[in-house]
Amino acid sequence: MAAWYFLIYFLAIPSCLVSGQSSTFGLKGGKVFLKPDITGHPDGILWKFKGNKVVEFEGQQQQVFRPYENRITLNWVTAELNIADLRLEDSGDYVLEVEINNVLNNSYYALEVMDKVSRPTISCKMNDGGSLNVSGELVCSAEPQPSLKFEWGARGNVQLGPQLQIPLGDEHDDEVYSCSVSNQLSKETTTFTAKDCYPEGSSSAVPITIAVIIVLVLLLGCVAIHCLNDTIK
């Protein structure tokens, strides 16, 4: 029975370490540092990624393995690993095996590589509830990627999510709304003015039509009066 308890405890150590580890984030094309906390001078260092060797140091020299050639810097004293020119496929779990005074120690690290977010675009759909109740729905869009966060700002208020309902005045409504899109390492913002919800040219179409009607009515009135005067004469 004691042997079983020892075996369960031994097998549980890696899984507990993995479940409790924190993630390190890096931008595609950038660099990241995986920093272990060790005590003593390592006699041997081995970093692995998904079971494959990344870099190995055996006390006198090191060897870097594909596809990390020319992208790896290893500190032989602290075992710190620097990965440059990050690629999306570098995301995943890394294992560090360090030998100090003939004792082998393992530690676990999660790396997530992500793209820089793109500049968002904003579109508007008008909802006509009558001349006194016109509103719009703003939609913020960006190139999709994991962990995107959308945030609206207007009148000192903040609202999360890609959609925002707004009240609309007339075609001269100068209220400005901003949408920010972010992930853990980058952020982009764009703005939108409420009057841009109105289709181009629509704001002047109604006044011009009314003016034409008024002119026609006046002309018809003048013609009618002229005809009436001719009849009386």
Q: Which of 61, 58, 32 is nearest to 45 (CA)?
A: 58
Instruction: Convert the pLDDT of each residue in 28-43 to its tens digit.
Output: 999 999 999 888 889 9
Query: What's the pLDDT at 216?
Result: 62
Instruction: Convert the pLDDT of each residue in 143-166 to its tens digit.
Output: 988 889 999 998 889 999 999 999
By the 8 A CB rule, do 128 and 73 touch?
A: no
Whole-number mean pLDDT of the chain? 81
Query: What's the pLDDT at 106?
Result: 93
By the 8 A CB rule, do 94 and 162 touch?
A: no
Query: What's the pLDDT at 171?
Result: 75
Residue 81, strand partner residues = 34, 74
Percent share of the chain, pLDDT over 90: 59
Q: Write out the CATH class of domain 11-114.
A: mainly beta
By the 8 A CB rule, do 55 and 83 touch?
A: no
Q: Which of 76, 77, 81, 74 is nearest to 35 (CA)?
A: 81
DSSP per position, 9-32 = HHHHHHHHHHHHPPEEEEETTS-E
- Residue type for position 233: K
Q: Which of 63, 61, 24 is nearest to 47 (CA)?
A: 63
Q: In the chain, which residue ranges form alpha helices assigned H by DSSP? A: 2-20, 202-232
Which CATH number is associated with domain 121-200? 2.60.40.10
Q: Which of 123-132, 169-178, 215-224 has the highest mean pLDDT?
A: 169-178
The structural domains of the chain, with segments of one domain joined by +, span: 11-114, 121-200
At 21, is the pLDDT very low, low, confident or very high (cuts 50, 70, 90)? low
